Amino acid sequence: MRGLKLGAMVAALVAASLPAMAETTVLNHVTVIDGTGAAAKPDSAVVMTDGKITYVGPSAGLKVPQGARVADLPGKFVMPGLIDSHVHVGMMRDVTQDVKFYDRANVEADLKTYAAYGVTAVQVAGTDKDVIFDVRKDLRAGRPKMARIFTSGQGMVAKGGYGGLYGLNVPISTPEEARKSVDEQAAKGVDLIKLWIDDERKMIPVKMSYPVTKAIIDQAHKHKLKVWAHVYYLADAKELVRQGVDGFAHIVRDQAVDKELTDMMKAKGTWQIASTLSREIVYSMAVMPWINDPFFTRGVTPGTLTALRGPAREKAVMLGAIRFPGLPYEKRLFADMGRTVVQAMDNYEAMIKAGVKTGMGTDSGPNGRFPGFNAHEELAMEVMAGRTPMDAIKSATSDNAAWLGDKSIGSIQTGKWSDLVVLDEDPLADIRNTKSISAVYVAGNSVPTVWQTCRGRPSNACTGGWKDRSPTPY
């Protein structure tokens, strides 16, 4: 009996000393679109081992590792997970925005929704509570099963001005307050600094001053942090480029961008990191054309659907101003938005033709912009504005990773994280085929796709798949 116990102990010690068996998954006979802009590679294989890409190349050269799970996927397409460079998380319940809704559970629900749509990393635009740093720490400590996160913490908002999340952001009015606020965010460990300079199309009497924006930019750069700015006006964009801003969170929309701006941005390496075209178009539509599309309905709550299908939204688009909780003024959200979206598209096309560095971002999260869903609408609108499907995909993958300074994501290359989207149809033939999601992997973990999702309802409450999609006007 004693011998049996001793033998068991020895066996346990030997087992503990052996290296753990690697977890390996092979996607074979796929067409790889690697996110770098290189030509698509048919009949390829991707090997994921413990969450990292260990082989990408011809299927003919594949040596299947012992014990690997192999998925033969002829006719499928594999691209990197999308990166949305402008989102807000955790702040909504159905169509109501309020700081009281922001908690870890709501943040993670949004991050899982992003991943379901093939958006495997997001950059949050200055409306995070401090719990975000715990979420980010946990995601970076291992192999996440939801979208990765980059945060601007609490962004910089002018006292009495536009921006931020009411009740969260601490308004500033002087350069001294600006520098202090930047120092506070840097001490928390933000990935970058966000500022808002806008007066909501002249509806607000206060706008952040140039001495304050310069103080923010200079102080952030002392901490080696990039600064990105919400802008609306051409004059503000030019002044911020002169001051050294690193990127813009929206495109100029008051008038046409000119050669002076694009030349300055190219000379200084300023990014049009997010153009948020899908944000602009949603405010120009009284009735959303995708309101019954299962690609949309699966990713939003029942309360959201009820509100969007009701007459109040149509009335607001056609007639009205809206007073949000805590704001001392009404916002005519939809006024003049038909012109604005056209101007945004024209200016984005001008940026592309001029050779300005560009990424992809949607401003998803607040009312009317939907986690994950808007990323696919944004890609379609980029193509409408003159990009090729390949360039649009690059903007949302390797280009956004370059802006973030993260060399571990954004393309399908050996040594990088296995953040991948498997598609049933070719996105290079039609960019809308990015919606034909067959599988999503985050760090090699297979996560539920949008076609397996039914947010806020039992899983069997949602019906419809890729073949049941509704046509969109673009």
Above 70 in pLDDT, residue 5? no
Task: Give the pTM.
Answer: 0.93
Query: Residue 11 — pLDDT band, cuts 50, 70, 90?
Result: very low
Query: Residue 16 — pLDDT band, cuts 50, 70, 90?
Result: very low
Q: What is the pLDDT of residue 334?
A: 62
Instruction: Look over the chain and give the mean of its residue pLDDT values, rounded to a whole number.
Output: 92
Edge-to-edge strand ranges of the sheet holding 271-272: 193-196, 227-230, 247-248, 271-272, 357-358
Q: What is the pLDDT of residue 1?
A: 45
Domain borders along the chain are 82-410
The DSSP annotation for 317-378 comes to HHT--B--TT-SS-B-TTTTHHHHHHHHHHHHHHHHHHT-EE-----BSSTT--TTHHHHHH
Give the model confidence (pLDDT) of 160-169 as tens digits: 999 999 999 9
Q: Which of 145-159, 192-206, 279-293, 314-328 has the lowest mean pLDDT?
A: 314-328
- If you average pLDDT over each of 7-11, 168-172, 321-325, which comes out highest? 168-172
The DSSP annotation for 438-457 comes to EEEEETTEEE--GGG--TTS
Above 80 in pLDDT, residue 252? yes
Give the model confidence (pLDDT) of 269-298 as tens digits: 999 999 999 998 887 776 788 989 999 999
The neighbour count for residue 1, using CB atoms within 10 Å, is 5
Above 50 in pLDDT, residue 101? yes
Query: Residue 310 — pLDDT band, cuts 50, 70, 90?
Result: confident
- Average pLDDT for residues 210-231, to the nearest whole number? 98
- Average pLDDT for residues 93-114, to the nearest whole number? 97
Q: CA–CA separation, 333 vs 96, rounded Å?
A: 15
Tell me the CATH number for domain 82-410: 3.20.20.140
Q: What is the pLDDT of residue 326?
A: 61
**Neighbouring residues of 58: CB distance < 8 A, sequence distance ≥ 6:** 41, 43, 44, 45
Query: Residue 10 — pLDDT band, cuts 50, 70, 90?
Result: very low
Above 90 in pLDDT, residue 38? yes
Above 80 in pLDDT, residue 468? yes
Residue with more model confidence, 3 or 47: 47
- Average pLDDT for residues 20-26, to the nearest whole number? 87
